[in-house]
Amino acid sequence: MLNRSQAPAIHGIEHIAFVQPQINKLKNGVDLFWRNGIFNETSKIELHFKAGSCIEQPIVASLCAGLLISGTAHKNARQIQKALDALGAYYDVSLSQDEAIVSIYALKDQLLAAYTVFHESLFAATFPTKELQDLCAERRQKFLVQQEKVSFLAQRQFQKSLFANSVYAKQIQLEDYDNVSVTDLQAFHQKNYLKGLVEVFVVGDLQGADFQELQDLLNTYQKASFDAIDFDWQNEQGAIHLEQENALQSAVRIGRPLFNKTHPDFCDFSILNTILGDYFGSRLMSNIREDKGYTYGIGSYIVEHQNYGYFVIGTEVGVQTRTATFEEIQREFDRLKNELVPQEELALVQNYMLGQLLKSADGPYAMLDLFANVQQNGLGLDFYDQLIDRIRKITPERIQELAKRYLIWEEMLIISAG
Amino acid sequence: MISYESFTLNNGLRVLFHREPSSPMAVVNVLYDVGARDEDAERTGFAHLFEHLMFGGSKHIADFDAPLQAAGGQSNAFTSNDITNYYDILPAQNIDTALWLESDRMLSLAFTDKSLEVQRQVVIEEFKQRYLNQPYGDAWLHLRPLVYKKHPYRWATIGKNIKQIQEASMQEVKAFFKQHYHPGNAILCIIGNFELETIKQKVAHYFGNIPAQKKATRKLTSEPPQKQFRTKTLIRKVPATAFYYAFRMGKRTDSDFYQADLLSDFLGNEKTSPLYIELKKKKKICAEITAYITASFDDGLFIISGKLQSGKTIEQLEAALWPLLEKTAAKAISKSSLNELKLKLRTSRAFQDQGLLNRAMNLAYFELLGSAQQLNKEAEKYQQIKTKDLQEFALQTFRKTNCSRLIIQSQQDAK
């Protein structure tokens, strides 16, 4: 007979298999990471270029990424797109501060052909003036729309103050759209794409000949040369409020510089961060959403990068409850500093984190992302075994120690907009 | 091809099981046949508010999320105008935890006042965050009642306004549960590396003794055919004028759904579509323009929406857009274009099928539409479409009298 008040027994996770991709060193020195053994016909190629928004001017990086396959001497943007359409392929570019990441998705028999279309268009790119003007007009309007959003305003101010005076504080301004030329884009393209390939990731059961041909094409790039980025981290502290007339909610960003996974405190801090704000049952969610009803959602995150990491709490709350939300966040910091985390809560978070790690390693696409995540910091997959070990061995005392060291309200940058 | 087994419990619960030997995770997906279309016109937003309450504790379990998280899992849900869908993803060895939790909240909720009061506030903040405090965020709150006059699609899942959410009472919450949350109104879909017999035994164990209840007959007023062009203009402090053309079309199970879907891809594609090329690149009237369909269980909408470039007018848009749509109806698209659309669709479906959760949701969704078997026939239905089918759909759909137009005009442009 079923006793509904009795929870079923929970079985721990004994082992997580982290699968290493095949590594092919190209003649130009670039690493190509390949994961095959896929159970359906999907495939993907992902190229990382040293062409991120903070490498030079953000406006140039942003428009160049948007116009990579916008025309050559022989083909216009539409013809190039048509060629990709005919192969049933999808194409996407995303920009981080350091890198531009180009992804092409296609069925495995079409991947080489789709990549070839991209490759030829990229190498012969002319950046037609007309295309640049059109994109500037479009982006300018989108920028104006973004400026109406409190989340955008808060995030921008946060970036600006967190990275004050460093290369990472650079942001696109509205007037930049009037001051960018085709020559700027061409120079950036030569330097940071054709001579800026960092690494390549491929998923899919490509045939041997296709894979060989793909490597030959990739060999025509020059490997990116990395000058150490002169990164002087002088963040601002304290509160900045951007008043927005008639806003119903305030967007909030509270954070501080931290570290990435190369730091000895990283794993343990990520457990502390999960308890504080990185899952549905976290303390911030339980208190500020599920007890007070101030917000639709609140979370805390460790944002990682090649050269740095930072900690940030983000939420949107009713304008009237903004101050009360700040007080509750401080209260949660204090609780973590003054009281040991109860064993039951810690056990839940340990199991939760292991379960999420198991999920993150499930399937070739997820697994390759997990690999790329450590690869960018020069680490190997054994990092995850260490993380599992830390999750299993963490103590309430260690969590309290880290809370005292890092969750200091006076050291936080506190941005609100609305 | 997604293979699955299906069986039904004595209390009417329909169960689907798809075995995935390569994954260490399991998915438990519970779809309830209730959406915003089942709401009272004076209590809109209720199905969605109710979805929040489903996480506020059930008859024997104080907190839904904590035991699931302790088992290494996570959960979420969404509400649409047609359905409410809940899902749990967790390590496969702990599937019992998800079945225990889902079965207890199907049996009965805890109905605490605290949960109702807090979730009411959370939903009001969600209303602000997603609809009221965003530029153009309230477009659909105005577009729906412009198109639908009788059918409950005339309100959005978030509800008509905050006031109705404020007024929801515990008595109404209980009545809503009683009517819609029972085995005969649900479809349970499980994915994981299990034997069918194990699943049968576990499902019977947790769900078997939930009392059966008669499924209520849905009596919705169907939306009468539209007779004339409708238009509404809102003047707002936004940087650019936005437009939404909504054309009436059929429901998800109608055969012309597939034509509509392909045609919306054709018209909405970035860079290559005729709308993009003519209205954005050549005439420079639009800053952005796209097309899509609502894919709803009852009569749905084919939408063309976008934003004007600054200094351009709705009159200029009208003068250019209608002839383009007439052309789509007068001349079939090329065979090669159609093949491209089909191949792109095949690629995106293959990627969607990668994920366990997508497979679980899709199986349950198609089971509710008629049979999960239909999911595996979708590809063939798209393959059979011919260019003249798209042309016929365009002819029948892109008529001015079949269209409602919402404009969110920028104050600057209005001057």
Cβ-count burial of B60 within 10 angstroms (0-12 exposed, 13-18 middle, 19+ buried)? Answer: middle
Question: In angstroms, rounded to a whole number, what is the distance separating the alpha carbons of residues A382 and A364?
Answer: 18
B129–chain A Cβ distance below 8 A for any pair: yes
pLDDT in tens, A183-214: 999 999 999 999 999 999 999 999 999 999 99
Q: What number is the average pLDDT over the span A258-276?
A: 97
B5 touches chain A (CB under 8 A): no
Residue that is written with structure tokens 């805390």 in the block:
A300
- Res B415: pLDDT: 62
Interchain contact, A351 vs B71, CB within 8 Å: yes
Considering the domain architecture, whether residues B195 and B343 belong to the same structural domain is answered as: no
Report, as an integer, the average pLDDT of B140-168. Answer: 97
Taking the CA of residue A368 and the nearest CA in chain B, the distance in Å comes to 14
Do B188 and B246 reside in the same domain of the chain? no
Q: What tokens appear for B86 in the block?
A: 């809940």
Question: Mind telling me how many Å the CA of B358 is from chain A's nearest CA?
Answer: 14
If you measure CA to CA, which chain B residue comes closest to A274? Answer: B69
The domain tally of chain B equals 2
Structural domain includes residue B224: no
Which of B133, B162, B276, B383 to mutate against chain A (most A CBs within 10 Å)? B133
CB contact under 8 A, A359 and B351: no
Report whether pLDDT(A146) > 70: yes
A233 pLDDT band (50/70/90 cuts)? Answer: confident
Which of B60, B90, B340 faces A86 most closely, judged by CB atoms?
B340
pLDDT at B59: 94
pLDDT value for A216: 97
3-state SS class at A92: strand
Identify the CATH homologous superfamily for domain A22-218.
Metalloenzyme, LuxS/M16 peptidase-like (3.30.830.10)
d(CA B269, CA B72): 40
The helix or strand, by DSSP H or E, that contains position A153, with its residue range, turns out to be helix A150-162
Q: With 70 as the cut, is the pLDDT of residue B78 above it?
A: yes
Q: What is the pLDDT of residue A225?
A: 87
- Structure tokens given for A273: 């961060």
Residues facing residue A23 across a β-bridge: A33
- Determine the structural domain holding residue B86 and report its residue range: 5-207
Q: Please report, rounded to a whole number, the percentage of residues in chain A having pLDDT higher than 70.
A: 99
What CA–CA distance (Å, rounded) separates B80 from B113?
Answer: 25
pLDDT digits (tens, 9 = 90+) for A19-51: 999 999 999 999 999 999 888 899 999 999 999
The answer as to whether B213 is a domain residue is no
Here the contacts of A205-213 (C-beta below 8 Å, separation 24 or greater) are A205/A36, A205/A37, A205/A38, A205/A41, A205/A43, A205/A108, A206/A36, A206/A43, A206/A108, A206/A111, A206/A112, A210/A111, A210/A112, A211/A34, A213/A112
How does DSSP assign A168-224, residue by residue? GG----GGGGGS--HHHHHHHHIIIIIT-EEEEEEES---HHHHHHHHHHHTTSPBP
Phi, psi at B292, each rounded to 5°: -160, 170
Q: Which two tokens stand for residue B193?
A: 């590396």
Answer whether residue B5 shows pLDDT above 70: yes
Q: Does A294 touch chain B (CB under 8 A)?
A: yes
For the cut 70, the answer to whether the pLDDT of residue B38 exceeds it is yes
Tens-digit pLDDT profile for residues A147-168: 999 999 999 999 999 998 888 8
Same-domain pairing of B45 and B143 = yes
Cα separation, A145 vs A141, in Å, equals: 6
CA angle at A410 for the pair A404 and A414, rounded to the nearest 5°: 115
Q: Are A381 and A18 in contact (CB under 8 A)?
A: yes
Share of chain B above pLDDT 90, in %: 96
Instruction: Name the β-bridge partners of A94.
Output: A101
Residue A232 scores a pLDDT above 80: no
Chain centre to alpha carbon of residue A261: 14
What 3-state class would DSSP assign to A45?
strand
Q: Does B410 touch chain A (CB under 8 A)?
A: no
Instruction: Show Cβ contacts of residue B76 under 8 Å, excluding neighbours closer than 6 positions.
Output: B86, B87
Average pLDDT (A103-128) is 97
A88/B89 touch (CB, cutoff 8 Å), yes or no: no
Summarize chain A as % helix, strand, coil (round to 5).
45, 20, 35
Q: Which residue of A has its CA nearest to B56?
A: A290
pLDDT of residue A229: 66
- When pLDDT is averaged across residues A314-321 and rounded to a whole number, the result is 95
Beta carbons of B97 and B68 less than 8 angstroms apart: yes
Q: Whole-model pTM above 0.90?
A: yes
Domain residues of chain A, as ranges? 22-218, 238-417
Mean pLDDT of the residues in chain A: 95
CATH number of domain containing B250: 3.30.830.10
Please report, for residues A54, A71, A326, B272, the alpha-carbon distance to residue A122 in angstroms, rounded to integers and kept in the order given. 21, 9, 48, 19
With a cut of 70, say whether residue B394 has pLDDT above it.
Answer: yes
User: Residue range A67-87: average pLDDT?
Assistant: 96
Q: Write down how long chain B is.
A: 415
Query: Using H for helix, E for strand and C for coil, what is the string for chain B?
Result: CCCCEEEECCCCCEEEEEECCCCCEEEEEEEECCCHHHCCCCCCCHHHHHHHHCCCCECCCCCCHHHHHHCCCEEEEEECCCCEEEEEEEEHHHHHHHHHHHHHHHHCECCCHHHHHHHHHHHHHHHHHHHHCCCCCCHHHHHHHHHCCCCHHHCCCCCCCHHHHHHCCHHHHHHHHHHHCCHHHEEEEEEECCCHHHHHHHHHHHHCCCCCCCCCCCCCCCCCCCCCCEEEEEEECCCCCEEEEEEECCCCCCCHHHHHHHHHHHHHCCCCCHHHHHHHHHCCCEEEEEEEECCCCCCCEEEEEEEECCCCCHHHHHHHHHHHHHHHHHCCCCHHHHHHHHHHHHHHHHHHHHCHHHHHHHHHHHHHHCCHHHHHHHHHHHHCCCHHHHHHHHHHHCCHHHEEEEEEEEHHHHC
Residue A85 CA to residue B348 CA, distance in Å, equals 12
CB contact under 8 A, B344 and A88: yes
Please tell me the distance from the alpha carbon of residue A26 to that of residue A16, in angstroms, as a whole number. 30
List the beta bridge partners of residue A416: A241, A252
pLDDT score at A397: 98
Q: Are residues B33 and B117 in the same domain?
A: yes
- Put simply, the answer to whether B239 touches A141 (Cβ < 8 Å) is yes
Domain closes at, from B173, B192, B207:
B207
Q: Which residues of A touch B353 (CB under 8 A)?
A: 40
Taking the C-alpha atoms of residue A382 and residue A387, their distance in angstroms, rounded to an integer, is: 9
Nearest to B255 by CA among B352, B76, B88, B393: B393
Q: What's the mean per-residue pLDDT of chain B?
A: 95
Q: Give the CA angle between residues B9, A7, B85 to the nearest 5°.
A: 50
> Which tens digits make up the pLDDT trace of B295-324?
999 999 999 999 999 999 999 999 999 999
Structure tokens at B231: 């238009």
Best of A14, A296, A356 to disrupt the B interface by mutation (most B CBs within 10 Å)?
Answer: A296
> How far, CA to CA in Å, does B100 sit from each of A268, B61, B204, B207, B263?
32, 9, 11, 8, 44
Percent of chain A predicted with pLDDT > 90: 91
Distance of CA A100 to the CA centre of its chain: 12
pLDDT band, residue A113 (cuts 50/70/90)? very high
Which of the residues A5, A6, A11, A131 would you substitute to probe the B interface, choosing the one with the greatest number of B C-beta atoms within 10 Å?
A: A11
Q: Which residue has the higher pLDDT, B159 or A308?
A: B159
C-alpha A237/C-alpha A273 separation (Å) is: 20
In a domain, B108, yes or no: yes
CA distance B99 to B9: 15
Segment B177-203 shows an average pLDDT of: 97
**B217 assigned to some structural domain:** no
- Contact: A348, B66; criterion CB under 8 Å: yes
- Which residues in chain B have Cβ-Cβ distances shorter than 8 Å to A81? 270-272
Q: What average pLDDT does this structure show over B54-79?
A: 96
Mention the CATH class of domain A238-417. Answer: alpha beta
Whether B39 is covered by a domain: the verdict is yes
Which value does ipTM take for this structure? Answer: 0.94
Domain presence at residue B212: no
Distance from C-alpha of B164 to C-alpha of B168, rounded to nearest angstrom: 7
Residues B385 and B325 in one domain: yes
pLDDT tens-place string over residues B221-274 = 999 999 999 999 999 999 999 999 999 999 999 989 999 999 999 999 888 899
Q: Are A192 and A55 in contact (CB under 8 A)?
A: yes
pLDDT at A307: 81
pLDDT, tens only, A380-396: 999 999 999 999 999 99
Beta carbons of A90 and B344 less than 8 Å apart: yes
Q: Pick the residue with more confidence: A37 or B350?
A: B350
Partner residue opposite A296 with nearest CB, options B60, B126, B339: B126
Instruction: Please check the confidence at residue A228 and state whether its pLDDT lies above 70.
Output: no
Q: Are residues B192 and B276 in the same domain?
A: no
Q: Which residues of chain A from 227 to 256 reach within 8 Å of chain B, CB to CB? A: 247-249
